[in-house]
Structure 1
Amino acid sequence: MSDVNTSTPIELEITEPRRISEQAAAALVIAGALVAVADRRVSPVERDEVIRFIRERDLAPHIGDERLFAMFDELAERLEEPDFANVVTNTLRPVSDLPLSSHLIELSERVAAADEDVHPHEVQAIKLLRLLTLVLPRAKPVGPAAVNVVTKE
Structure 2
Amino acid sequence: MTDAKHSNPIEIEITEPSSLNEQAAAALVIVGALVAVADRRVSPVERDEVIRFVRDRKLAPHIPEERLYAMFDELAERLEEPDFANVVIDTLRPVSNLPLSSHLIELSERVAAADEDVHPHEVQAIKLLRLLTLVLPRAKQVDSRKERIEQPLATEE
TM-score normalised by length of structure 1: 0.82
- Aligned counterpart, 1:59: 59
CA distance in 2, matches of 1:42, 1:51: 14
1:34 Cα deviation from its structure 2 partner: 0.3
Contact 2:26 2:71 in 1 (8 A): yes
Q: Which amino acid aligns with 2:47?
A: R
- Aligned counterpart, 1:4: 14
Contact 2:78 2:84 in 1 (8 A): yes
CA deviation digits over 1:54-108, x for unaligned, max 9?
0110000000100000000000000000000000000000000000000000000
CA distance in 1, matches of 2:26, 2:122: 19
1:141 Cα deviation from its structure 2 partner: 6.5
The correspondence of residues 25-104 of structure 1 with structure 2, limited to 5 A, is 25-104=25-104
Larger radius of gyration: 2
- Aligned counterpart, 2:111: 111
1:139 Cα deviation from its structure 2 partner: 3.3
Aligned sequence identity (%): 83
- In structure 1, list runs of 5 or more residues that go unmatched: 13-17, 143-153
The correspondence of residues 139-150 of structure 1 with structure 2, limited to 5 A, is 139=139
> What's the Cα RMSD here?
1.5
Q: Which amino acid aligns with 1:130?
A: R
Alignment size in residue pairs: 132
CA distance in 2, matches of 1:139, 1:63: 24
- In structure 2, list runs of 5 or more residues that go unmatched: 1-9, 143-157
Q: Which amino acid aligns with 2:29?
A: V
CA distance in 1, matches of 2:136, 2:80: 22
1:138 Cα deviation from its structure 2 partner: 1.7
- Aligned counterpart, 2:126: 126
TM-score normalised by length of structure 2: 0.80
Q: Which amino acid aligns with 1:37?
A: V
Matched residue of 2:19: which SS? helix
- Aligned counterpart, 2:149: none
